[in-house]
């Protein structure tokens, strides 16, 4: 630093006076911090403060041995209670309706399968947080605000290598396949099992929650030998959906938690 003032003769050093402004600045800063913190705590803009993969609804992590037990069973959804159930379980109301409709539809096709909306909810929670991953929203007709498309299955650590099977029509990738929609189906699997829930004659849409849930119900019933209420069938179905015991335990935990929230023992 330079100065334009004349240089004075040196004088003996004296103790420098304490700066009196600093405590005041600190006090002002602390006051501002308190006000900001109070605002952040007290504000309420109607949006849930939670991560897409960490719902606040308590889902204890269970570790059952594969093929030894099945999750707790719940009765079909009481449509009059959907709003309350949605609030308590933190499942979007539209997602809950899709799961309930898929259960009803599949039971009409095969009453003995034992599919439950809670099983679909367990998978939906794991795959896309019930269609809300990456800030996606669900439209009243079951479509999504934006497509849910998984990572390329290119053989990276933790992923299989699956070359493109649909020329990018469904997953927008002409090199590798990617999982699709809120229930995360591969293009080839969707092509074989896809269900159009509305029955309007249009192609099944993996990005439509109703179609995705109905397809998952059909796929699980077939994969589990239409015996989803016994350990062998339940685990066979889920491990066909995803070949991982850890994945199966996550779905088990979700199904158990949702079922017990409806009908606790």
Span 134-138, mean pLDDT? 97
Contact 253, 59 (CB under 8 A): yes
Name the pLDDT band for 15 (thresholds 50, 70, 90). Answer: very low
Span 179-205, mean pLDDT? 97
83-110 pLDDT, tens digit each: 999 999 999 999 999 999 999 999 999 9
207-250 pLDDT, tens digit each: 999 999 999 999 999 999 999 999 999 999 999 999 999 999 99
Q: What torsion, rounded to 10 degrees, do the Cα atoms 124, 247, 192, 158 define?
A: 120
94 inside domain:
yes
| The pLDDT value given to residue 56 | 82
Closest CA to 217 of 86, 138, 124, 137: 124
Percent of the chain residues past pLDDT 70, beyond the cut: 78
For the ranges 1-10, 15-24, 115-124, 176-185, the lowest mean pLDDT is seen at 1-10
3 inside domain:
no
Q: Does the pLDDT of residue 13 top 80, yes or no?
A: no
Average pLDDT of the chain, as a whole number: 85
β-partners of residue 51 are 54
d(CA 15, CA 206): 77
Span 17-21, mean pLDDT? 44
Domain hosting 129: range is 81-147+194-262
232 inside domain:
yes
Q: Does the pLDDT of residue 37 top 80, yes or no?
A: no
- The neighbour count for residue 52, using CB atoms within 10 Å, is 13
Burial environment of residue 229 by CB neighbours within 10 A (0 to 12, 13 to 18, 19 or more): middle
36 inside domain:
no
Higher pLDDT, 4 or 127: 127
Q: Does pTM surpass 0.75?
A: yes
167 inside domain:
no
124 inside domain:
yes
Q: Does the pLDDT of residue 63 top 70, yes or no?
A: yes
d(CA 180, CA 148): 6
Close Cβ partners of 78 (under 8 Å, ≥ 6 residues apart): none
Closest CA to 224 of 210, 249, 241: 241
165 inside domain:
no
Q: Does the pLDDT of residue 31 top 80, yes or no?
A: no
Q: What are the b/e assignments for 197-223, b being 16+ CB within 10 Å?
A: bbeeeeebbbbbbbbbbbbbbbbbbeb
Higher pLDDT, 14 or 56: 56
The number of folded domains in the chain is 1
Q: Does the pLDDT of residue 55 top 80, yes or no?
A: no
Q: Does the pLDDT of residue 10 top 50, yes or no?
A: no
- Joined together, the tokens standing for residue 42 give 């007290």
């Amino acid at each position: 630093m330079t100065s334009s003032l004349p240089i004075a003769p040196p004088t003996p050093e004296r103790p420098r006076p304490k700066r009196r402004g600093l405590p005041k600045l600190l006090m002002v800063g602390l006051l501002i911090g308190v006000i900001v913190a109070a605002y952040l705590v007290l504000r309420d803009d109607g949006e849930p403060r939670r991560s897409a993969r960490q719902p606040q609804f308590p889902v204890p992590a269970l570790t059952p041995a594969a093929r030894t037990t099945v999750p707790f069973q719940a009765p079909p959804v009481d449509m009059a209670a959907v709003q309350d159930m949605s609030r308590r379980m933190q499942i979007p109301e539209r997602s809950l309706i899709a799961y309930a409709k898929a259960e009803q539809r599949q039971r009409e096709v095969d009453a003995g399968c034992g599919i439950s909306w809670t099983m679909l909810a367990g998978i939906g929670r794991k795959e896309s947080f019930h269609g809300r991953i990456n800030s996606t929203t669900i439209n009243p007709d079951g479509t999504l605000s934006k497509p849910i498309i998984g990572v390329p299955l290119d053989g990276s650590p933790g992923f299989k290598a699956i070359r493109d099977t649909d020329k990018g029509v469904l997953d927008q990738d002409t090199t590798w396949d990617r999982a699709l929609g809120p229930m995360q189906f591969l293009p080839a699997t969707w092509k074989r099992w896809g269900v159009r829930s509305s029955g309007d004659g249009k192609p099944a849409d993996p990005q439509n929650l109703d179609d995705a849930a109905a397809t998952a119900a059909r796929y699980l019933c077939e994969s589990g030998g239409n015996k989803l209420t016994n350990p062998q069938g339940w685990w066979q179905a889920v491990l066909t959906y995803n070949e991982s015991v850890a994945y199966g335990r996550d779905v088990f935990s979700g199904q158990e938690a949702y079922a017990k929230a409806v009908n606790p023992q």
